[in-house]
Amino acid sequence: MNNSIIQDITRSPLRRSLFHFTRTRNLQAICALDALYAADVIAPQYAGGIHREELQLAEYEGKKILLNAHLRIKPELMDPDTSVQEFHACLDRHVFLWLTERDCLTMAAMYARREPEETFAILQFAAYELMQEHYEAVRLSKYDSGSSPRYPHRVAYHKSCRMLLPLSQFKHRLESLVPVKASEIKEVLIEHRLAPISRYLQTLYCSDPERVPEAWRTIARPMTELRRYRDKLVAILHLIGDFYLFWRK
């Protein structure tokens, strides 16, 4: 394990946490299992390259969990040696986390527009500890791996499993498809399972307080607080930067 890699990624205060976006209907199951599982673990019948065109209700260890539909990825976005089915199978082997509040909030806003009747939640985790204890299972992505850009010809990369960089190879594999510096990391993915999440969970942001598990009520906050938290942190960093420039004069 190379802890200096994790230190480099989490050096900025804006990259000290990891964020997982989910539906509030999944919170009770996630809390009871004390884990986040990839789709291929929860429901192999809906994974392995199968295109999920709609939400799927699955059951794992007696708990009901909703699996999101896959976005329809246009073949023009794919690398020539990777089919859409192979790429979906690759994605289904991972748990998805965002490295910044901004990117996670962008996804939350997109889903809120598409599904106004649904309620959502964001789980905030301690980034350093989580990556340290899942070191071999961590993958880094420079792009939103599961996205489906509207205009494929404007995209500067092609999707393949090579997009997902093992943590140990960060700053060793230098190519445009993968992040080569911490500020380029958009997603952090964990192969198969993230557990126990209670060890890393810092805050639960939820748009429906009625769905907050009893065990998490003391760390639950309204979803709107996450944006305020980010804005306050950015303002503090700007003040520090202004003070540094003033001090150097």
pLDDT at position 232: 52
What DSSP element (H or E) covers 91?
Answer: helix 84-91
pLDDT at position 229: 57
Q: Which single residue is written with the structure tokens 């082997």?
A: 93
Q: Identify which of 24-28, 52-56, 145-149, 241-245 has the greatest average pLDDT.
A: 24-28
Question: Nearest-CA neighbor of 223 among 81, 78, 107, 137?
Answer: 107
* Cross-strand pairs, 220: 204
The predicted-structure confidence for 6-54, as pLDDT tens digits, reads as follows: 999 999 998 999 999 999 999 999 999 999 999 999 999 888 777 788 8
The predicted-structure confidence for 219-230, as pLDDT tens digits, reads as follows: 999 998 887 755
Q: Which single residue is written with the structure tokens 């804005």?
A: 231
> Within 13 Å, how many C-alpha atoms sit on residue 199's CB side?
13
Interatomic CA distance for residues 202 and 18, integer angstroms = 10
Q: Which single residue is written with the structure tokens 């989910």?
A: 22
The predicted-structure confidence for 117-145, as pLDDT tens digits, reads as follows: 999 999 999 999 999 999 999 999 999 99
Could you say which DSSP state residue 151 is in? -
Residues with Cβ within 8 Å of 141's Cβ and at least 6 positions away in sequence, in order, are 163, 164, 165, 178, 179, 185, 186, 187, 188, 189
What DSSP element (H or E) covers 71?
Answer: none
Using 50, 70 and 90 to split pLDDT, how confident is the model at 244? very low
What is the sign of the dihedral through the CA atoms of 193, 220, 99 and 135? negative
Mean pLDDT value of segment 203-209: 95
- Rounded to 10 degrees, the C-alpha dihedral 100/185/191/32 comes to 0
% of the chain surpassing 70 pLDDT: 91
Maximum separation of any 2 CA atoms in the chain, in Å: 64
Cβ atoms within 10 Å of 85's Cβ, excluding its own: 12
Mean pLDDT value of segment 165-171: 97
Residues 182, 15: contact at Cβ < 8 Å? yes
What DSSP element (H or E) covers 226?
Answer: helix 224-248
pLDDT at position 34: 98
Using 50, 70 and 90 to split pLDDT, how confident is the model at 231? low
List the domain boundaries for the chain.
3-248
% of the chain surpassing 90 pLDDT: 72
The predicted-structure confidence for 80-93, as pLDDT tens digits, reads as follows: 999 999 999 999 99
Residues with Cβ within 8 Å of 209's Cβ and at least 6 positions away in sequence, in order, are 220, 222
